[in-house]
Chains A and B, each alone.
Chain A
Amino acid sequence: MNIGWKEIKKNKSRFLILGSIIFLVSLLTMIISGLANGLSQDNAALIKDLPEGHFYMSEDAEETYNLSRIDSDVQHEIMNDHQNAVALSIQMGFLIDQEDKQQSVAFVTATDSKLFTQVDEREVIVDRSLKEKGIKVGDLLTNNQLRDELVVKGFVDQKKFSHAPVAYINSEDYKKMYNVEQMQLVFLPGENSAQNFTGLQSYSNKDFLSTIPSYNAEQMSLTMIVSFLIVISGMLFAIFFYMMNIQKIGLYGILKAVGIKTSRLFKMIWTQMLFITIIALALSISLSHAFNSIAPEGMPFHLTFETTTQLSIIFLVVGFIGATLSGLQIRKIEPLRAIQQGED
Chain B
Amino acid sequence: MTIFTLDEVEKTFTNGEIEENILKGISLSLKEGEITALVGTSGSGKSTLLTIAAGLQPASDGEVLFDGNNLTTMSSEQVRKIRAKEFGFVFQFAHLVPFLTVEEQLMLMLEVSESTLSKREQKKEIDQLLNVIGMEHRKNAYPSSLSGGEKQRVAVARAIIHKPKVLFADEPTASLDSKRSKDMMELIRDLTKKMNITTLMVTHDEEMLTYVDRILQMSDGMVLENK
Contact = CB atoms under 8 A, between A and B. Distances in A.
Interface of A: 1, 3, 6-7, 9-11, 250-251, 254-255, 257-261, 334-336, 338-340, 342-344
17 contacts: A7-B99, A10-B142, A250-B95, A254-B91, A255-B97, A258-B109, A259-B85, A259-B87, A259-B112, A260-B84, A335-B56, A336-B51, A336-B56, A336-B57, A339-B51, A339-B91, A343-B175
Give the interface SS of chain A, mostly helix, strand, loop or mixed. helix
A11 B142 CA distance: 12
A251 B95 contact: yes
A342 B93 CA distance: 7
B3 interface: no
A258 B57 contact: no
A272 to B, nearest CB: 11
A293 to B, nearest CB: 41
Given A3-B97, A339-B56, 16 more contacts: A3-B99, A3-B108, A6-B100, A6-B104, A9-B99, A251-B95, A251-B97, A254-B95, A257-B56, A258-B83, A259-B83, A259-B87, A336-B51, A339-B170, A342-B93, A343-B175
Contacts of A336: 51, 56-57
B111 interface: yes
Contacts of B44: none
Contacts of A7: 99
Nearest to A255: B97
Q: How large is the interface on B (under 10, 10 to 19, 20 to 34, 35 or more residues)?
A: 20 to 34
Contacts of B188: none
B76 to A, nearest CB: 10
B112 A11 contact: no
Interface in B46-100: 47, 51, 56-57, 80-81, 83-85, 87, 89, 91-95, 97-100
A261 B97 contact: no
Contact of B108 (A1, A11, A250): A1
A9 B98 CA distance: 12
Contacts, number: 63
A317 B44 CA distance: 50
Nearest to B52: A336
Contacts of A335: 56
Contacts of A11: 99
Contacts of A1: 104, 107-108, 111
B98 to A, nearest CB: 7
A340 B91 CA distance: 9
Contact of A258 (B89, B94, B107): B89
